[in-house]
Every structure is written in C-alpha cells, then in structure tokens.
Structure 1
Amino acid sequence: MRFLLRPGWIALTLAVVAFAFACAYLLAPWQFHRSDERDGTNAALQRAVTTAPVPRGRLVPPGTEPAADIAWRQVTVTGTYRPEGEVLVRLRSIEGSPATEVMTPLATTTGETVLVDRGYVRSGDTGGLPPIAPAPGGTVTLTGYQRLDEGAPDRPAIVADGHRQVYAADAPTIAAAGGVAVSPGYVQLLPNQPGVLTAVPLPPPDPNPSYSYAWQWLIFGLMAIGAWIYFARLEWRRAHGLEPHRERDDQDPRDAADGTPWDARTSTEAKLADRYGRR
C-alpha cells in the first residue's frame, strides 16, 4: 500500500476525508436542523387555523417576549390605537409581490402597548405608496396571530413618502423609529378587524425537502468513501499484477485513460488505414 504515500494519493485521501466529514458533521446536521425548524413552523401554522383565539395575556405575560411555541396562535387584544407611533415595514414580499406593511401601536386595557400589524399596501403605478387609511379612534377589540420579532435589521430607519420606515418587523426597531415603547412581538391582524388594511395571509405550509437533502449529503459522503476504496483497490491490484496492464509504449493513443485497449482491427478507420498503408 505504499502507493498511498504518493502526493496525488495523499491529496485525494485528504479531499475525500474532508468531504465525508463535511457531509456527516456539517451539511447533513444543518439540513436536519432546518427540517426540524420547518416542521415546527408547519405545526404552528396548523395550530393557527385549528385553535380558537384567547386573550393575549394568557399566553404572553405583559411586557415579556412571546415564546417560540406560541408563534401564530390566535390572540385577542383590547385597547386604543396610537397612530403617532405608526411605522411602515418596507421591502416585503407578500404572495410573490412587493408590499409595505403598516405597524401601529395599540395601548391595551391591561396597561401595556402592543404593536399591531394592520396589513399591507402595494406601491402605486408611479412607485410611491398609496394613501393609507388611518387607524380608527376609540377602544377596539382585535383578533390576530401572535408573531415573533424578526430581529434588528442591518439598515437604519428612513423617512420616505412622508412615513417612517424600517426594514424588519421587529418591535424594538419600530419602537425606536416611532417613538412609542411597545412590548416584544406583534399581533398580525386577521381580515375584517378594526383598522385592518389588506390582511397579511398565512404562509402556505412548507413542503420541507430538508430531510431528504440531509440524507442525500450522507449518501454523497458514503459514495466518496466508496469511490476512494474502489480506486485504491484497483491501484493495489495493478501493483500486484492482478489487472491487465500494457506498457505505455505499446498503447494506442486512442486507448482509454484506464488502459482499456482500443481494438483498432475492428474499426473502419483502421481497416482503411491498413489498406492504404497508413499503419
């Protein structure tokens, strides 16, 4: 097995080991993790349409961050809109088209202020935003989906089309831009609620191909190891004279790279070459 110490075989062995390690300990686990996340999201969406709404305070203590396992649960809140803290979330994609979501704080009867996603608007023909209907005054009771914050964006808030705008549906970011302190998370309104514009629809269930991708990476890693074993065995057999081998001087240039001879006597080209004395 001294051939394994050749530079080419050392490089090949290291490449196979690195690839197999990446498949087994990086790529496949990453896809398994994504599969679990997608299964969790699909389960949450299923709960959203099968579970009756409950007061938000039962699921989220005032001022605390919503837990991941209550994402998309239907909740109710009662309070008064605070339009002075309204902020738009720009560059959204809803049903495959660009949109802008409208976030308005709601001062609830429980003493906290909750961010409400009143829905979305689309840009007009000239590229600007259409007029946005103001939130109604007075006390309202709303039903919507409890959502989690998306995390702070890497771009600062701006003012465009006469509105304060941010790049993520993130309560702390919107509170800083709008000047009204709100609790973590936000409530995404269902259709036909007071103050709703065009309600953001539930996303479709994720088909979740990640589980299959994970197994594919594991199989690719095993295939790389199997290919290394095959070629190492082939090289060992050749070194011990167990495989047919011809010296390079006796080989036809049309022979295959693995040494398989090209049978010139059976080719039309060779017969013509013999007839006219070209061989």
Structure 2
Amino acid sequence: MYRFLLSRQWVILTLVALLLIPAMIRLGIWQMHRYDERAARNQLVSDALSAKPVPVEKLTAPGQAVATNERYRTVTAKGHFDTDDEVVVRRRTNADDEVGYHVLTPFVLNDGKVLLVNRGWIPADQGASQSAFPKVPAPPRGELTVTGRLMPDETTEASGIKNLQGLPDRQIMLINSEHEARRLDAQVLGGYLAQTGPAPKGDTPQQLGEPGDENAALNYAYAIQWWLFAAGVPIGWVVLVRRELRDRRERAAEESATEAQPAAV
C-alpha cells in the first residue's frame, strides 16, 4: 500500500519537504543572529547615552573616524558658531515625516579647529524655489558651550543617500567631515555633533530626538516561527501520507465490494 510513495508526485513532494526543513532551520538561526546584533547595538546606544559627557577632542580629531562604541556619546565643545559657512542638508525628515532640511553649522573651537554641528531640522519653504537657501534661525552669538551626541560621518554606503553633484549653493546631501574640510579649507574633527544643548529658545531648529531601540524581540519571534515551520513540515508530510493511504484503502474496499456483487440475470 506504500508503493505510491515511489510515484513521481510523491518523490517530488518528499524532496521539497526535505529541502524545506534545513532551509527553515537556517532562516531561524539567521534571525537569531539578527536578534543578537540588534540587542548588542541597543546596548551600545544605551551605554553611550548614559555615559558621562566628555570634551569632544577626547573622542575625535581631524581625519579620525568616530568609533562604533563612541557613537551617540554625549560630548561638549567650547567655541563659537560660524554662520557664514553654514549649509543645509537636503531631504531630511522630522518625527512627523515632514520633509525639510538639517542645519549644519561649523563650530569653531578655541584652538581654531572646526566641529560640524547639526543644529536640527527646519521645514522646507513651500513657496520658495528649491534652489534658494532657506531661512535659517540664527544660533546664539559669541563664545558658548554646546552639548550633543557624537555621530560618525555619513556615507552613501551606510545611509543609502546618493551624494548628488550640482546642488544649489550651500546645500549638501551628506554630512561628511572630509568633504566639509575641503570646502572650508580647515581642520575639521571627524564625524559631527547632533546638538542637544543649549536648549532651543524661540524660533530655532527642531533638535533631533534620541535614537530609539531597534525591536530585537521581533527577530527572536521570527526565529521561533521558522523553527516551528520546520517542525511542521514532517508532521504535515505524515498527515498527507496517512490521508493518501486511507483514501486508497477506501477505494480498494469499494472496488472489492463491487466485484463481489452477483451479476444481474
């Protein structure tokens, strides 16, 4: 009665089932790796945000990349803003997904080096040309101390944002200290500062919110789901085999009953 398992249909079905089981197991393992990676990133962000503020010069320098474990670290800097060389970063959104600009203002330190400060988000002026420089609220004048989260340079590879050429004057696509060092002809510290202080007053750019935790629990749930699917494949195969065997037995019994009936006279 089990010879039907050698038919082409059942051989193909069995091979597909045998291939699905390891594939689903591997997908579950991959989701667990993703869970570990996201949990580790969340911990790094949490540790960075809770760390004691330090002077920015302790964590970065001209031509130096911001290390992964120093991303989001709270740093301070003393100096003054240089609005003459201020630029805006195109196609940036706020918490409500409104499209506008990020305001990037050079902050000249007391030793002459420059720190790029992302002062926050401003809306795009719908009535103005996209090629015109938007109205940007001025930062405080004179010497002051700014506080913010240290961020690495933006790249196309990491962000997916293309660094378009031929943009309007004083508009850029990516915040990159190397590019800005060439534009400013100055020593620019690696990375940039997402400003959090002084607290905004009046008509100032909307400061960027704190980074949220990535939902690592979803990857854990997906891993369990894939493993349950893998366990369900052989169970489903057995159910199908038993159903096919039952149907064949019922057909065989019906055929036997028909053959046993006496011929009509």
Structures share fold, TM-score greater than 0.5:
yes
Distance 1:207 1:2, change over 3 A: same
Q: Give the aligned CA root-mean-square deviation in angstroms.
A: 3.6
Alpha-carbon distance in 1 for matches of 2:42, 2:153: 18
| Equivalent residue number for residue 65 of structure 2 | 65
Question: SS at 1:105's partner residue?
Answer: strand
Alpha-carbon distance in 2 for matches of 1:11, 1:138: 77
Shift of 1:145: 0.5
Question: SS at 2:167's partner residue?
Answer: strand
Distance 1:43 1:102, change over 3 A: same
Q: What does the per-residue CA deviation read over 1:77-135, in whole Å, with 9 as the maximum and x for residues that have no partner?
A: 22343445433222223213223211223343456433211111012353767510244
Counterpart of 1:55, as a letter, is P
| Equivalent residue number for residue 272 of structure 1 | none
Q: Kindly indicate whether the alpha-carbon contact (under 8 Å) linking 1:106 and 1:114 is maintained by their aligned counterparts in 2.
A: yes
Alpha-carbon distance in 1 for matches of 2:87, 2:8: 62
Counterpart of 2:219, as a letter, is S
| Equivalent residue number for residue 7 of structure 1 | 8
| Equivalent residue number for residue 192 of structure 1 | 198
Question: SS at 2:88's partner residue?
Answer: strand
| Equivalent residue number for residue 171 of structure 2 | 164
Shift of 1:217: 1.7
> For 1:132, which of 131, 136, 145 is the aligned residue?
136
Shift of 1:137: 5.4
Kindly indicate whether structure 1 or structure 2 has the higher relative contact order, using CA contacts under 8 Å at least 6 residues apart: 2
Alpha-carbon distance in 2 for matches of 1:178, 1:10: 70
Shift of 1:50: 3.0
| Equivalent residue number for residue 216 of structure 1 | 225
| Equivalent residue number for residue 262 of structure 2 | none
Counterpart of 2:64, as a letter, is T
Distance 1:164 1:243, change over 3 A: same
Alpha-carbon distance in 1 for matches of 2:125, 2:253: 73
Alpha-carbon distance in 2 for matches of 1:178, 1:247: 89
* Number of residue pairs matched by the alignment: 243
Q: Kindly indicate whether the alpha-carbon contact (under 8 Å) linking 1:164 and 1:177 is maintained by their aligned counterparts in 2.
A: no
Counterpart of 1:201, as a letter, is G
Distance 1:234 1:173, change over 3 A: farther
Q: Kindly indicate whether the alpha-carbon contact (under 8 Å) linking 1:105 and 1:180 is maintained by their aligned counterparts in 2.
A: no
Question: SS at 1:52's partner residue?
Answer: coil
Q: Identity across aligned pairs (percent)?
A: 28
Alpha-carbon distance in 2 for matches of 1:243, 1:103: 76
1:101-116 equivalences in 2 (<5 Å): 101-109=102-110, 112-116=113-117
Q: Kindly indicate whether the alpha-carbon contact (under 8 Å) linking 2:113 and 2:186 is maintained by their aligned counterparts in 1.
A: no
| Equivalent residue number for residue 120 of structure 1 | 121
Question: SS at 1:15's partner residue?
Answer: helix
| Equivalent residue number for residue 147 of structure 1 | 151
Distance 1:242 1:197, change over 3 A: closer
Alpha-carbon distance in 1 for matches of 2:221, 2:205: 39
Distance 1:110 1:219, change over 3 A: farther
Distance 1:58 1:175, change over 3 A: closer
Question: SS at 2:235's partner residue?
Answer: helix
Distance 1:203 1:17, change over 3 A: same
Alpha-carbon distance in 2 for matches of 1:82, 1:188: 16
Shift of 1:7: 2.9
> For 2:251, which of 241, 246, 262 is the aligned residue?
246
Q: Kindly indicate whether the alpha-carbon contact (under 8 Å) linking 1:106 and 1:115 is maintained by their aligned counterparts in 2.
A: yes
Q: Kindly indicate whether the alpha-carbon contact (under 8 Å) linking 1:51 and 1:73 is maintained by their aligned counterparts in 2.
A: yes
Shift of 1:211: 1.6
Counterpart of 1:231, as a letter, is L
List runs of 5+ in structure 2 lacking aligned partners: 256-265
Question: SS at 1:246's partner residue?
Answer: helix
| Equivalent residue number for residue 231 of structure 1 | 240
Distance 1:69 1:89, change over 3 A: same
Distance 1:78 1:23, change over 3 A: farther
